[in-house]
């Protein structure tokens, strides 16, 4: 069963545990500036929104790459960057409509979320379940449950 990262911004407190965990997993150090998941603080609105790659099926980044450095991970469904092949041309960063693939000046390659190979550190670190890793075929389950709860059984 493939899984997806599922984000519920209403549960996010903006603590950045996800960014720390992501950088620790992928860079070996605590460094939110290198995190593949970012939490946006819309201060005036009082909202925190985590955002990362949705792993599009027809991924723009993958299609745009001139050297085929972005490939599908058959097991997890993630689109992974092959660092050995990536030439750092950044065309993928232009192609991605969501901004979730970015150039890393220290490596000279692009980086994006690879679901940590199937055990995403961000979801593990999130203290409020704002980020979960769930069945990719049922990411709407929580919303369905919420609406189902509003059903009035008496009228059926």
Partner 1 sequence: MSWTKKLLRVNLSSGTCTEEPLNMQWANDYLGQRGLATRYIVEETDPACDPLGPDNKLIMATGPLTGTMASTGGRYSVICKSPLTNAIACSNSGGFFGAELKFAGWDMVIFEGRAASPMYLSIENEKATLHAADDLWGKSVWEADGMLRTKHQDPQARIACVGRSAEQGCLYAAVVNDLHRAAGRSGVGTVMASKNLKAVVVRGTLGLGNIDNPEAFAATTKAGKAVLAENAVTGQGLPAYGTQVLMNVINEVGALPTRNMRETTFEGAANVSAEAMAEPRKSDGKPNLTTNGACYACTIACGRISTIDRTHFSVKDKPEYWINSGGLEYEAAWALGPDTGVDDIDALTYVNFLCNEDGMDPISLGSTIAAAMELFETGAITTAQTDGVELKFGSAEALCWAAEATAKGEGFGRDLGMGSKRLCEKYGHPEFSMTVKGQEFPAYDPRGIQGMGLAYSTSNRGACHLRGYTVASEVLGIPEKTDPLESDGKAGLVKAFQDATAAVDSAGLCVFTTFAWTMDDIAPQVDAACAGDWSTERMMEVGERIWNMEREYNAKAGLTGADDNLPARLLNEPANSGPATGRVSELAKMLPEYYEARGWTADGSVTAETHQRLGLPG
Q: Please give the structure tokens belonging to residue 44.
A: 């005036």
Distances in Å between the Cα of 65 and the Cα atoms of 86, 101, 149 are 9, 12, 45
Judged by CB under 8 A, does residue 145 bind partner 1? Answer: no
In the complex, the smallest distance separating the C-beta of residue 3 from partner 1, rounded to whole angstroms, is 21
Judged by CB under 8 A, does residue 111 bind partner 1? Answer: no
Q: Segment contacting partner 1 (CB under 8 A): 13-21, 93-101, 139-147, 148-156?
A: 13-21
Q: Segment contacting partner 1 (CB under 8 A): 11-19, 49-57, 78-86, 136-144?
A: 11-19
Q: Which is nearer to partner 1, 24 or 136 (CB)?
A: 24
In the complex, the smallest distance separating the C-beta of residue 85 from partner 1, rounded to whole angstroms, is 26
Judged by CB under 8 A, does residue 128 bind partner 1? Answer: yes
Q: Please give the structure tokens belonging to residue 21.
A: 């965990």
**How buried is residue 72: exposed, middle or buried, by Cβ count under 10 Å (0-12/13-18/19+)?**
middle
User: x-or-dash pattern for partner 1, window 30-69, by CB under 8 A?
Assistant: xxxxx--------xxxxxx---------------------
Q: Please give the structure tokens belonging to residue 13.
A: 């407190």
Q: Segment contacting partner 1 (CB under 8 A): 7-15, 55-63, 76-84, 88-96?
A: 7-15
Distances in Å between the Cα of 151 and the Cα atoms of 62, 142, 146 are 42, 15, 9
CA distance linking residue 101 with residue 123, whole number of Å: 19
Question: In terms of DSSP bridges, do strands 47-51 and 38-42 run parallel, antiparallel, or are they unpaired?
Answer: antiparallel
Question: Which chain residues interact with partner 1 by CB under 8 A?
Answer: 13-17, 20-21, 23-24, 27-34, 43-48, 125, 127-128
């Amino acid at each position: 069963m493939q899984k997806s990262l599922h984000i519920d911004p209403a549960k996010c407190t903006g603590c950045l545990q996800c960014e720390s965990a992501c950088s620790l997993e992928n860079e070996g150090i605590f460094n939110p500036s290198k995190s593949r998941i970012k939490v946006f603080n819309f201060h005036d609105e009082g909202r925190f929104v985590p955002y990362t790659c949705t792993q599009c099926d027809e991924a723009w980044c993958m299609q745009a790459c001139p050297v085929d450095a972005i490939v599908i991970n058959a097991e997890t469904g993630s689109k992974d960057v092959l660092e050995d092949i990536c030439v750092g041309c950044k065309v993928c960063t232009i192609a991605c409509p969501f901004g979730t693939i970015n150039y890393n000046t220290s490596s000279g390659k692009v980086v994006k979320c690879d679901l940590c190979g199937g055990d995403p550190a961000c979801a593990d670190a999130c203290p409020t379940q704002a980020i979960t890793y769930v069945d990719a075929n049922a990411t709407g389950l929580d919303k369905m449950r919420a609406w189902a709860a509003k059903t009035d059984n008496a009228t059926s």
